[in-house]
Amino acid sequence: MKTRAQAALVIQQVLDQGQSLSAVLPAAQENVAPRDRALLQELCYGTLRWLPRLDAAVSEMMDKPLKNKSRIFHYLILVGLYQLIYTRIPAHAAVAETVNAVKLLKGSSLRGLINGVLRNFQRSAEVILLRIDRVPNIRLGHPEWLTKRLRQAYHDEWEFIMAANNQRPPMWIRNNSQRQSREQMLVRMAEVGINAVAGEEGEDCILLERPCDVTKLPGFEVGDCSVQDGAAQQAAALLDPQAGEWVLDACAAPGGKTAHLLERQPKLAGVVAVDADEHRLKRVQENLDRIGLAAKVIHGDAAAPEQWWPEGQFDRILLDAPCSATGVIRRHPDIKWLRRDQDIRELAELQRRILNALWGKLKSGGTLLYATCSVLPEENREQIRAFLVATKDAKLVPLHPQDTPDCPGRQFLPGEAEMDGFYYAKLVKL
């Protein structure tokens, strides 16, 4: 199927059926020629990234949006507008290919309408965009509820966060220090034409000048390196497991942090990786197998540890809690449309239950590292602040001078040092 038609179908699956882009895009890419797969990804990611702006532009040109069985053609118009605004595809080709896709989607009677809308936009683009961009959430491509939350939480930085969410993400590599030094890996990369620099935020971090296929990374298939954002790589160093200790990685999928813990400290007594998603848990084992590492991988509910670990406690626990993922929107723009405002309260309650349950599985003197890929205070500092008040045997370990019980943890913002948005708080059990 032609690329534009396939893009419209993918967007419909995300917006109307609530499916994630990562779940539906791979199958869709099988329906287009190999040379067009990168374009399909660009059209899907870009249209979802800028959805409010594209929707608003359509509203300027159409009195009534296409609905019901014709809704797919609304999404096709959005794909057409995305090409005209954000890509270097010649305008005549973008319009022609988008209009040709109408027939593939069995809507030939709408060819004239869609052609007219796209050509109207070509003539009036500057005026239309100037008018719709007066509204902040439209200009910055975010839903109203999330814009409101970000403005409330980050009075000076909300626009920076939203702008960062719309950038194409860089590619970070984690060097396996058990195999070679970071400097040696950088040399290996240079030898195969991959330009990269050492990341400033971690001793294993490598930042690529531009993304590449993992098959081109030297030694990737045997575990010499892995793909992992620089912010996510902070977890292993912050938890800092020691030889002879038992470590729990709760909510472990897809297993990047599990592997990093083992790479950093190969003399651990044992690592348990647990996750409630059986499908994603397979990726944990696949990652461990690729690198040649061993951990006890368990399908289980982190909020009910007695069901899968009835006896014994852990020296250290990494809780990478289920969250809104609002710190990784640049990698997953569909998050903006799959999340709802009410989800935040429900997620915060789930996080609270898991944190309380796992605290009982931590030894006295042990360390728990709480982590999310969220930027929302309800899931992060407010969660930990409430836990410290309610839990008398919990003590905060400051990660920086401003890390206090009243404002606990370390919040990385999207785009900060080229990394994803991430939150960490380190607790010790008295």
Chain segment 300-315, per-residue pLDDT in tens: 999 999 999 998 999 9
* Residue pair 380/425 in contact by the 8 Å Cβ criterion: yes
For residues 307 and 276, membership in a common domain is answered with: yes
Q: What is the pLDDT of residue 90?
A: 97
**Would residue 162 count as lying in a domain?**
no
Does 52 lie in the same domain as 109?
yes
The CATH number covering residue 191 comes to 3.30.70.1170
410 and 280 within one domain: yes
Closest CA to 339 of 320, 323, 355, 351: 323
Range of the domain at 38: 3-134
pLDDT for 112-161, tens place per residue? 999 999 999 999 999 999 999 999 999 999 999 999 999 999 999 999 99
Tell me if 205 is assigned to a ligand binding site. Answer: no
Distance CA 240, CA 185 (A): 23
| Shared domain check, 238 and 221 | no
Q: Count the domains in the chain.
A: 3
Residue 62 counted as domain residue: yes
267 and 407 belong to one structural domain: yes
Catalytic residue among 205, 225, 323, 373: 373
The candidate with the shortest Cα–Cα distance to 264, out of 298, 239, 289, is 239
Q: Are residues 41 and 93 in the same domain?
A: yes
Instruction: Tell me if 320 is assigned to a ligand binding site.
Output: yes
Q: Which residue's structure tokens are 């006896």?
A: 311
Count of residues in the chain: 430
pLDDT value at position 178? Answer: 97
Same domain as 239, residue 217: no
User: CA dihedral defined by 322, 259, 246, 388, rounded to 10 degrees?
Assistant: -30
- In this structure, the answer to whether residues 352 and 380 fall within a common structural domain is yes
Query: Do residues 310 and 415 both lie within one domain?
Result: yes
Indicate the helix (H) or strand (E) that contains 395.
strand 394-397
Q: Residue 201: what pLDDT?
A: 86
Query: Of 77, 110, 134, which marks where a domain is finished?
Result: 134
Residue 90's SS3 state is coil
pLDDT the model gives residue 203: 95
Q: Is 371 annotated as a binding residue?
A: no
**What does the alpha-carbon distance between residue 100 and residue 98 come to, in Å, rounded to a whole number?**
5
Instruction: Say whether 373 is catalytic.
Output: yes
Q: Do 392 and 341 share a structural domain? A: yes
Residue type, 225: C
Backbone φ and ψ for 427, nearest 5 degrees, come out as: -125, 145
Select from 134, 163, 187 the last residue of a domain: 134
The predicted structure's pLDDT at residue 65: 87
| Segment 11-15 long-range contacts (CB within 8 Å, at least 24 positions apart) | 11/44, 11/47, 11/48, 11/75, 11/78, 11/79, 12/71, 12/72, 12/75, 14/48, 14/334, 14/337, 14/338, 15/51, 15/75, 15/337
Domain for residue 158, yes or no? Answer: no
pLDDT value for 50: 99
Residue 311 has a pLDDT of: 87
What residues of the chain score a pLDDT lower than 50?
none
CA quadruple 23, 304, 371, 313: dihedral positive or negative? negative
Q: Provide the CATH number for the domain around residue 347.
A: 3.40.50.150
Task: Flag whether 251 is marked binding.
Answer: yes
Residue 107 annotated as binding site:
no
Domain boundary among 211, 227, 243: 227
279, part of any domain: yes
pLDDT of residue 1: 62
